[in-house]
C-alpha cells in the first residue's frame, strides 16, 4: 500500500495539476461538525434516506425534479406520523402522481421512520446518534444501517451519510478499483475481511495525510477515474 502522498500525486497527474484537483475537491461541501450534525432535525434524515432509496437504480434527475412532490406527499417526512402510517394512507401513496409509485420503496419510508424513532428514543435524537458515531468505524455504521434500516445497505446508506454531511467514504467502483490496486482489498467483494482492511487503510491515510474521509475517498477515485 502506497502512502497517501503518492496516491494524491497520481490523482494530481490524472486531473492535470494541483489546482485542478483542488477545484474538483472544492465542488463538494466539507463534512459538517458534530455540533452541526446534532442540529439537523430527524425528518431530514428520513427525507435523505428516502431520496437515496428512490434514486437507487433509477434516474437521479427524475427524483430531483419530483422531490418537492415527495415532500408534499410525505408531509415533510414527519418521523412520528410516518412511523404509524395506516394502510389507507399507504394505498393512497401508491396512486399519488407526485411521487414515483414504487410500493416496496414507499414502504421503506415507514420502516425507516420506525428506525429513526427508535434511535431518537435511545439517543435523544437520531441526529445525535449519527453525529457522535465515530468516523473511524464507518464500516460498523454501514453494517448498522443495513441491519436496522430498510434498503440502507450498500452505496445507498453511504451516499445518505455523505449528503447529510457525515464525514464518510463511498465505496464506488473507482474507489474499489483503487483499493484493489493498492492491495488493500484482495478482490471487489465487500467481505468482512475486505471491509476491515478498508477501514484500517482509510484510518491510516486520514491520520497521515490530514485529509477528511470525503477527500481521501474522492482522491482515490480520481486516481483511477472520475469518482465521487
CB 21 within 8 A of CB 15: yes
pLDDT in tens, 192-207: 999 999 999 999 999 9
What is the DSSP secondary structure assignment for residue 56, as one 8-state letter? T
Q: Is residue 113 part of a domain?
A: yes
Other beta carbons within 10 Å of 41:
15
- Distance from C-alpha of 74 to C-alpha of 79, rounded to nearest angstrom: 10
**50 and 22 within one domain:** no
Nearest residue to 156 via CA among 52, 48, 44, 47? 52
**47 and 21 within one domain:** no
The grid cell for 73 is 406527499
Q: Is residue 144 part of a domain?
A: no
**185 and 109 within one domain:** no
Q: Is residue 155 part of a domain?
A: no
Residue with cell 435523544: 124
- Distance from C-alpha of 194 to C-alpha of 190, rounded to nearest angstrom: 6
Dihedral sign computed on CA atoms, order 199, 201, 202, 203: positive
**117 and 50 within one domain:** yes
Per-residue pLDDT averaged across 148-164, rounded?
97
Residue 217 has pLDDT above 90, yes or no: yes
3-state secondary structure of 149: coil
**46 and 10 within one domain:** no
Domain count within the chain: 2
Q: Average model confidence (pLDDT) for the chain?
A: 95
Predicted TM-score (pTM) of this structure: 0.94
- Greater confidence (138 vs 227) lies with 138
103-123 and 42-55 are packed helices; what angle lies between their axes, rounded to 10 degrees?
150
**128 and 45 within one domain:** yes
**47 and 9 within one domain:** no
CB 219 within 8 A of CB 25: yes
- Distance from C-alpha of 163 to C-alpha of 166, rounded to nearest angstrom: 8
pLDDT-based confidence at 227, cuts 50/70/90?
Answer: very low
- Distance from C-alpha of 4 to C-alpha of 10, rounded to nearest angstrom: 10
Residue 24 has pLDDT above 70, yes or no: yes
Task: Output the pLDDT for position 228.
Answer: 46
Q: Is residue 99 part of a domain?
A: yes
- Distance from C-alpha of 117 to C-alpha of 125, rounded to nearest angstrom: 8
Residue 43 has pLDDT above 50, yes or no: yes
pLDDT in tens, 94-131: 999 999 999 999 999 999 999 999 999 999 999 999 99
Domain that holds residue 48: 41-132
Q: Is residue 138 part of a domain?
A: no
Per-residue pLDDT averaged across 150-164, rounded?
97
**46 and 83 within one domain:** yes
Q: Where are the beta strands (DSSP E) in 74-178?
A: none
Amino acid at each position: 500500500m502506497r502512502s497517501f502522498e503518492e496516491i494524491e500525486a497520481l490523482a494530481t497527474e490524472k486531473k492535470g495539476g494541483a489546482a485542478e484537483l483542488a477545484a474538483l475537491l472544492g465542488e463538494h461541501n466539507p463534512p459538517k461538525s458534530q455540533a452541526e450534525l446534532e442540529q439537523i432535525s430527524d425528518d431530514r434524515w428520513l427525507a435523505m434516506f428516502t431520496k437515496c432509496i428512490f434514486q437507487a437504480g433509477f434516474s437521479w434527475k427524475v427524483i430531483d425534479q419530483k422531490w418537492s412532490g415527495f415532500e408534499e406527499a410525505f408531509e415533510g417526512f414527519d418521523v412520528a406520523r410516518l412511523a404509524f402510517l395506516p394502510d389507507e394512507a399507504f394505498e393512497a401513496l401508491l396512486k399519488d402522481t407526485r411521487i414515483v409509485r414504487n410500493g416496496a420503496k414507499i414502504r421503506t419510508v415507514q420502516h425507516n421512520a420506525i428506525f429513526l424513532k427508535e434511535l431518537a428514543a435511545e439517543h435523544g435524537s437520531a441526529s445525535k446518534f449519527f453525529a457522535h458515531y465515530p468516523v473511524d468505524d464507518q464500516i460498523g455504521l454501514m453494517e448498522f444501517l443495513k441491519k436496522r434500516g430498510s434498503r440502507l445497505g450498500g452505496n445507498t446508506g453511504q451516499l445518505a451519510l455523505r449528503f447529510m454531511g457525515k464525514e464518510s467514504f463511498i465505496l464506488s467502483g473507482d474507489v474499489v478499483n483503487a483499493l484493489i490496486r493498492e492491495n488493500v482489498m484482495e478482490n471487489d467483494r465487500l467481505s468482512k475481511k475486505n471491509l476491515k482492511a478498508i477501514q484500517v487503510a482509510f484510518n491510516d491515510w486520514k491520520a497521515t495525510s490530514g485529509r477528511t474521509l470525503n477527500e481521501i475517498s474522492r482522491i482515490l477515485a480520481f486516481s483511477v477515474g472520475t469518482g465521487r
